[in-house]
Amino acid sequence: MSSSHMKRLTMPRSWPLTRKTDIWVQKPNPGGHSDEMCMPLGVILRDVMELAHSQREAKRMLATRKVLVDGRVETDAGRGVGLMDVLTVGEDSYRCILDQNGKLRYRSISDKSAATKLCRVTGKSTIRGGKTQVHLHDGRNITVDDANQYNSGDTLVLSLPTQEVSVHHAFSEGTLAYLTGGSHIGTTAKVVSRDIKRSSKANEVQFENFGTIADYVFIIGSQKDLPLEESA
């Protein structure tokens, strides 16, 4: 088997697929998301959404150019669609989230919600010309003039497909957070305090009844921003 596939027994635990029905499963192409936080587009259409009976059918669907990821036409079946990505198939749109079992889910959203995407700031770096490059969780980079405009842990709401920043949610006390790891994965809670470590240890965030590391915290504006409840 080629390097584009892996055994189902070794696939990420976040993938909502059975492990013993088949031997192999396609790997996502290298991209902005880690393998644990995304799935190949062809596998999503065939195995998760069940819109195609085979990989061949999934590729034919993509060839119609009616499948979009983050507002842009996508024809590659290996393209990884990951956390917070917006997937549009025909007239229907979906957002990728993590449920409370840590599984990737593609939940139906409205056309209005499909016009925006939440991106977490993972870091910053200075580039040529003294400008600052802001790194986002899905592999995107945006350039800003003011280095203090955004900080790590903040969330930017991007307009699709222009990818322009429309809203900025700062990582601060009292903000609502969506948890992407730990024992409270897939839930929301308000930030009570932050404990920034002056060492190699992970920064910690305290909520009302529990705490977790900052890497698991994804700031959102409100619960309406995410399709946390599965529609009937």
- Residue ranges covered by each domain of the chain: 5-109, 115-169, 176-222
Residue type, 106: Y
Instruction: Tell me the HSE value of 126 on the side-chain side, using a 13 A CA sphere.
Output: 5
Residue environment code for 69-102, b if the CB has 16+ CB neighbours within 10 A, otherwise e:
bbbeebeebebbbbbbbbbbbeeebbbbbbbeeb
pLDDT on residue 27: 95
Q: Decide yes or no: CATH 2.30.30.30 for domain 176-222.
A: yes
Q: Decide yes or no: CATH 3.40.50.10800 for domain 5-109.
A: no
pLDDT on residue 197: 87
Q: Please indicate whether residue 135 or residue 146 has the higher confidence score (pLDDT).
A: 135
pLDDT digits (tens, 9 = 90+) for 117-126: 999 999 999 9
Are 77 and 197 in contact, with CB atoms under 8 Å apart?
Answer: no
Domain 115-169 has what CATH class?
Answer: mainly beta
Distances (CA, A) of 223 to 1, 78, 164, 212, 228: 43, 31, 22, 20, 8
- Does the structure show a pLDDT above 60 at 96? yes
The model's pTM is 0.91
Q: Give mean pLDDT, residues 146-164.
A: 92
Positive or negative, the CA dihedral 175, 111, 166, 28 is positive
Task: Say if residue 36 is exposed, middle or buried (CB neighbours under 10 Å; 0-12, 13-18, 19+).
Answer: middle
Q: What is the mean pLDDT of the chain?
A: 93
pLDDT on residue 228: 81
